[in-house]
Each structure stands twice: as structure tokens, then as C-alpha cells.
């Protein structure tokens, strides 16, 4: 099978090879050193301020979205949430559950946050801002430079879900004035799903320490304290952390984050240039698209996007990524993260061509 979903994605041979090795006991100095290196490399790759820290959470990306909401905010906050799709909506849901006062900026699906729209919320007494780097349900990339400037001017705590965006799109906690950002193991890091990682600047750490979180598993203070000695409070997905270490070091030795960004952008461009003859509308304007994923809408309104997913899976051994909710029948997605080469992209495009010939597209 060729996997063009947005996670779990195709892993490289080095990562797969570690997956077949025995897992070491982890309450040791040896493992602590690996974890300290993981922390330092992630901080470096997010271009995070000095004294930033990482919370290594065993759980899906949602676990770290919820952990962040619980640890960074209280009911004395008043946060702005960008809701441009199902992941933006998840933050709305989380603030509801945890009684965090919020205002949501609801965007048309696949449309960017414009300066005009944002400026209406200037000087309105907010305390925090929550947004995706890339809203993975539509592939929209938000302008984090603009948002960061807005947050700095308004003194807002900026929490960014970069679960899918990290390594595919540019992120700099320093330049974008981001206080905390998340990524996940099974996205562009191309490791097995099981963990998510939050980078916290000093302000984010202080918020955790001042907050009295009513949870053991999501109590970030425990993660920060254990992390000082390179450990986690509970048994982590040890093999994923070993694969993370190997992967981060390889990224570092192969041109760093910028080079990884460049490769993923090149791949997204290759795909987007090659599909121009196909009967698709690119759901998100190309200039606002993340390199992580392309959302496509079949032009023929009688074509079911979900059916395309099923036919490609069952007859072409290719996984693309179906959408859920209101977009299920209208839109599907093609991911550009994980180890994908141009031959595989060509194979997908030939399959699309074949579907056109068969009158299915």
C-alpha cells in the first residue's frame, strides 16, 4: 500500500529498524540522556526561547491539546480561538469542557484568517490566542507572523497546534511570539502514533506552576519536574522516543529543519503542479496552503469524495485521506508528509487519470 494520509504516515527504514529492536529499561541515566537530547533538539527545531522545556506526553495529539488547555489557561482567561475546521473546533470543545471563557473566530472552511478579520479583535481585553499552524482538515496555513504580532501587541498568550504543521511549514516560537506549541509523533516526524510533544517557553511553564490542574495524567508540573532529570512521570512509549532521537539527529545532520521544510514543500509543489489537468478544485487557495496536505474537491458534483478514497484503497492499493463531517462526500486529502518519493506521487496521479478514464472522477 502507498500511504498518502496525514498520519500515521510512511516511516523510513531507520525508524522501522528501531521498531524491531528490544526496548530498554528506561529509568536509567542512559535513557535520561537520550531524553535530554530529544528535548534540546526539539527546542532548537521550534526555534524556542532560552529556558524552554518540552512535555513528552504519551497520547494522541488531542491529549496535548487538552493538556495545554488545562495547564495554560484558567477560568480567569479570555481566549480567542481560530475555528477553521475540525481541529479548530476541537479547541472550542475543550474550552467548553474546561470552562475557559472564549470567543471563536469561525472561518469559512478552507479560507485564511485575514488581517481585516483579525483586527476587529484588537484591544478587546483577551488574554490568550489558540490556533493551528495548519488546519489539517482543509490544509489551510494560518499566517503566524501576523498572528504573532497581534498577540505581542495585545499581550496574549499564544498556544499553537503545530501537530501536523511542524517540519512541513515554517514555525519559529521566537519570531512568531509563540508561548507553547505541539507536534505529534505520527506526522512529519514520521514515527509511530503514540506520543505528542509540547514545547513551552518560560511563560507557559509559569502558567503550569500557577495553575492547580485537577488531573494526574495531565499535570504538566509533574512532567516538567521529572523532565529535569530526563524522565517522565509515567511509562512513556519508549520505542517512539528512541525513534524520535534517531530522527531528530538525522534531521540535524541533514541540513536541519529548513532543509526538511524545503523537501516537503518541493513534494507538495510537485504534486500540485502535476494535478492541474485533473478535474479537481484545490479546496484551499494555493497561496494559503500548508505543505503538509492538499485538500481536493472533485469538480463533478455527482462524484463522492469518500468513494474515491474507497476505490483507491480497494483497487489501487493507495490510501488517501478521507474527510469527516460535512466535507465527507465533497473533499478528500492527499498528504505530503512521511517518506514519499516522486514515483509514488506519479503512481497516485496515474490512478487519478485512470479514474477519469473509467468515468469515476
162 sits near its own copies (criterion: CB under 8 A):
no
Q: Which is nearer to its own copies, 94 or 131 (CB)?
A: 94
Please state, in angstroms and rounded to a whole number, the distance separating the CA atoms of residues 199 and 324.
Answer: 29
Residue position matching grid coordinates 529543519: 257
Q: Which part of the chain contacts its own copies (CB under 8 A), choosing from 14-22, 32-40, 78-86, 134-142?
A: 14-22
Q: State the minimum distance, in angstroms, from the CB of residue 112 to its own copies.
A: 26
24 closest CA partner among 34, 39, 14: 34
Contact 241, 195 (CB under 8 A): yes
248 sits near its own copies (criterion: CB under 8 A):
no
Q: Which of 32, 62, 78, 172 binds its own copies (CB under 8 A)?
A: 62
209 sits near its own copies (criterion: CB under 8 A):
no
Q: State the minimum distance, in angstroms, from the CB of residue 10 to its own copies.
A: 6
3 sits near its own copies (criterion: CB under 8 A):
yes
**Using DSSP, how many helices (H) and how many strands (E) does the chain show?**
12, 15
Q: Which is nearer to its own copies, 8 or 101 (CB)?
A: 8
Q: Which of 14, 228, 234, 277 binds its own copies (CB under 8 A)?
A: 234
Q: Which part of the chain contacts its own copies (CB under 8 A), choosing from 3-11, 139-147, 169-177, 343-351?
A: 3-11
227 sits near its own copies (criterion: CB under 8 A):
no
Q: State the minimum distance, in angstroms, from the CB of residue 59 to its own copies.
A: 5
86 sits near its own copies (criterion: CB under 8 A):
no
Q: State the minimum distance, in angstroms, from the CB of residue 65 to its own copies.
A: 8
Q: Return contacts of 213-222, CB within 8 angstroms, 24+ apart.
A: 213/70, 213/71, 215/70, 218/63, 218/66, 218/67, 218/70, 218/71, 219/71, 220/55, 220/67, 220/71
Q: Which is nearer to its own copies, 98 or 272 (CB)?
A: 98
Q: How long a stretch of residues is the chain? A: 361
DSSP labels, 18-36 = HHTSPPPP-SSHHHHHHHH
Residue position matching grid coordinates 494560518: 142
How many of the chain's residues bind its own copies (CB under 8 A)?
Answer: 54
Q: State the minimum distance, in angstroms, from the CB of residue 81 to its own copies.
A: 14
Q: State the minimum distance, in angstroms, from the CB of residue 218 to its own copies.
A: 8
Cell triple for residue 18? 528501531
> Collapsing DSSP states into helix, strand and coil, what is residue 106?
strand
Please state, in angstroms and rounded to a whole number, the distance separating the CA atoms of residues 301 and 159.
Answer: 38
Residues 87-146 that bind its own copies (CB under 8 A): 90, 93-94, 97-98
38 sits near its own copies (criterion: CB under 8 A):
no
237 sits near its own copies (criterion: CB under 8 A):
yes
192 sits near its own copies (criterion: CB under 8 A):
yes
Q: Which is nearer to its own copies, 237 or 275 (CB)?
A: 237
Q: Which part of the chain contacts its own copies (CB under 8 A), choosing from 19-27, 42-50, 255-263, 325-333?
A: 19-27
∠ at Cα 327 (287, 317), nearest 5°?
A: 90
Contact 222, 205 (CB under 8 A): no
Residues 291-330 that bind its own copies (CB under 8 A): 313, 319, 321-322
DSSP labels, 312-340 = HHHHH-EE-EE--GGGTTT-EEEE--SS-
N- to C-terminal Cα separation, the chain: 21
Residue position matching grid coordinates 503514540: 194
Q: Which is nearer to its own copies, 148 or 236 (CB)?
A: 236
Residues 65-84 that bind its own copies (CB under 8 A): 66
Please state, in angstroms and rounded to a whole number, the distance separating the CA atoms of residues 35 and 224.
Answer: 13
Residues near its own copies, by CB under 8 A: 1, 3, 5, 7-8, 10-11, 16-17, 19-28, 58-63, 66, 90, 93-94, 97-98, 184, 186, 192-195, 214-218, 233-240, 313, 319, 321-322
Amino acid at each position: 500500500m502507498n500511504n498518502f494520509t496525514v498520519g500515521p504516515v510512511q516511516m523510513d527504514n531507520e525508524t522501522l529498524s528501531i521498531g524491531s529492536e528490544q526496548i530498554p529499561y528506561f529509568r536509567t541515566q542512559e535513557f535520561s540522556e537520550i531524553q535530554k537530547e530529544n528535548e534540546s533538539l526539539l527546542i532548537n527545531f521550534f526555534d524556542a526561547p532560552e529556558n524552554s522545556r518540552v512535555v513528552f506526553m504519551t497520547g494522541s495529539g488531542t491529549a496535548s491539546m487538552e493538556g495545554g488547555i488545562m495547564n495554560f489557561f484558567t477560568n480567569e482567561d479570555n481566549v480567542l480561538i481560530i475555528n477553521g475546521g475540525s481541529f479548530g473546533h476541537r479547541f472550542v470543545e475543550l474550552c467548553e469542557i474546561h470552562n475557559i471563557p472564549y470567543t471563536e473566530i469561525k472561518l469559512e472552511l478552507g479560507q485564511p484568517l485575514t488581517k481585516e478579520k483579525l483586527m476587529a479583535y484588537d484591544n478587546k481585553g483577551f488574554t490568550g490566542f489558540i490556533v493551528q499552524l495548519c488546519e489539517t482538515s482543509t490544509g489551510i496555513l494560518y499566517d503566524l507572523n501576523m498572528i504573532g504580532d497581534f498577540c505581542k501587541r495585545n499581550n496574549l498568550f499564544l498556544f499553537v497546534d503545530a501537530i501536523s504543521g511542524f517540519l512541513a511549514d515554517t514555525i519559529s516560537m521566537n519570531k512568531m511570539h509563540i508561548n507553547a506549541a505541539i507536534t505529534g509523533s505520527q506526522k512529519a516526524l514520521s514515527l509511530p502514533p503514540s506520543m505528542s510533544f509540547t514545547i513551552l517557553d518560560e511563560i507557559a511553564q509559569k502558567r503550569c506552576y500557577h495553575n492547580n490542574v485537577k488531573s494526574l495524567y495531565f499535570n504538566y508540573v509533574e512532567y516538567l519536574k521529572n523532565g529535569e532529570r530526563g524522565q517522565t512521570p509515567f511509562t512513556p512509549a519508549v520505542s517512539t522516543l528512541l525513534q524520535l532521537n534517531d530522527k531528530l539527529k538525522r534531521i540535524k545532520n541533514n541540513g536541519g529543519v529548513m532543509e526538511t521544510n524545503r523537501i516537503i514543500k518541493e513534494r507538495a509543489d510537485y504534486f500540485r503542479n502535476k494535478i492541474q489537468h485533473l478535474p479537481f478544485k484545490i479546496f484551499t487557495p494555493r497561496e494559503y496552503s500548508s505543505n503538509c496536505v492538499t485538500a481536493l474537491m472533485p469538480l463533478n458534483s455527482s462524484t463522492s469524495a469518500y468513494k474515491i478514497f474507497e476505490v483507491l484503497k480497494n483497487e489501487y492499493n493507495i490510501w488517501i485521506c478521507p474527510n469527516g463531517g460535512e466535507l465527507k462526500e465533497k473533499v478528500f486529502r492527499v498528504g505530503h508528509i512521511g517518506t514519499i518519493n516522486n514515483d509514488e506521487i506519479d503512481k497516485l496521479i496515474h490512478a487519478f487519470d485512470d479514474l477519469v478514464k473509467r468515468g469515476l472522477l
